[in-house]
Amino acid sequence: YDDRDGKIWMDGQLVEWRDANVHILTHALHYASSVFEGERAYGGRIFESRKHSERLRGSAEMIDFEIPYSVDEIETAKQQVLEANGFSDAYVRAVAWRGAGEDMGVASARNPVRMAVAAWEWGAYYGDAKMKGAKLDISKWKRPSPETIPSAAKAAGLYMICTMSKHSAEAKGCGDALMFDYRGYVAEATGANIFFVKDGEVHTPLPDCFLNGITRQTVIGMLKERGIAVHERHIMPEELEGFEQCWLTGTAAEVTPVGQIGDYSFEVGEMARDIAKSYEELVRR
Ligand code: PMP
Which residue among 130, 135, 154, 166 is the active-site one? 154
Closest CA to 247 of 277, 224, 227, 226: 277
Closest CA to 190 of 220, 160, 219: 160
- The yes-or-no answer on residue 154 being catalytic is yes
What residue's CA is closest to ligand 1, atom 5?
Answer: 191
Q: Which residues contact 236 (CB under 8 A, 6 or more apart)?
A: 184, 185, 186
Are 74 and 56 contacting, i.e. CB atoms less than 8 angstroms apart?
yes
Atom of ligand 1 nearest to the CA of 218: 14
Does residue 12 surpass a pLDDT of 80?
yes
Bridge-based pairing state of the strands 34-42 and 45-46? antiparallel
pLDDT in tens, 94-146: 999 999 999 899 999 999 999 999 999 988 778 777 778 999 999 999 999 99
Q: How far is the CA of 10 from the centre of ligand 1 (A)?
A: 24
Architecture of domain 7-120: 2-Layer Sandwich (3.30)
38 lines ligand 1 (CB under 6 A): yes
3-state secondary structure of 243: coil
In the CATH hierarchy, which fold is given to the domain comprising 129-283? D-amino Acid Aminotransferase; Chain A, domain 2 (3.20.10)
216 lines ligand 1 (CB under 6 A): yes
pLDDT bucket at 263, cuts 50 / 70 / 90: very high
pLDDT bucket at 221, cuts 50 / 70 / 90: very high
Within 13 Å and on the Cβ side, how many CA atoms surround 31? 16
pTM: 0.97
What pLDDT does 86 receive?
97
What does the CA dihedral 270, 248, 117, 100 come to, rounded to 10 degrees? 180
Tell me, what DSSP letter sits at residue 145? P
Are 116 and 155 contacting, i.e. CB atoms less than 8 angstroms apart?
no
Atom of ligand 1 nearest to the CA of 188: 1
What pLDDT does 116 receive?
98
Domain boundaries along the sequence of the chain:
7-120, 129-283
pLDDT bucket at 2, cuts 50 / 70 / 90: confident
From CA 261, how far away is CA 34, in angstroms rounded? 31
Does residue 218 surpass a pLDDT of 80?
yes
218 lines ligand 1 (CB under 6 A): no
Euclidean distance between the first and final Cα of the chain, in Å? 33
From CA 114, how far away is CA 84, in angstroms rounded? 21
Question: Is the ipTM beyond the 0.95 threshold?
Answer: yes
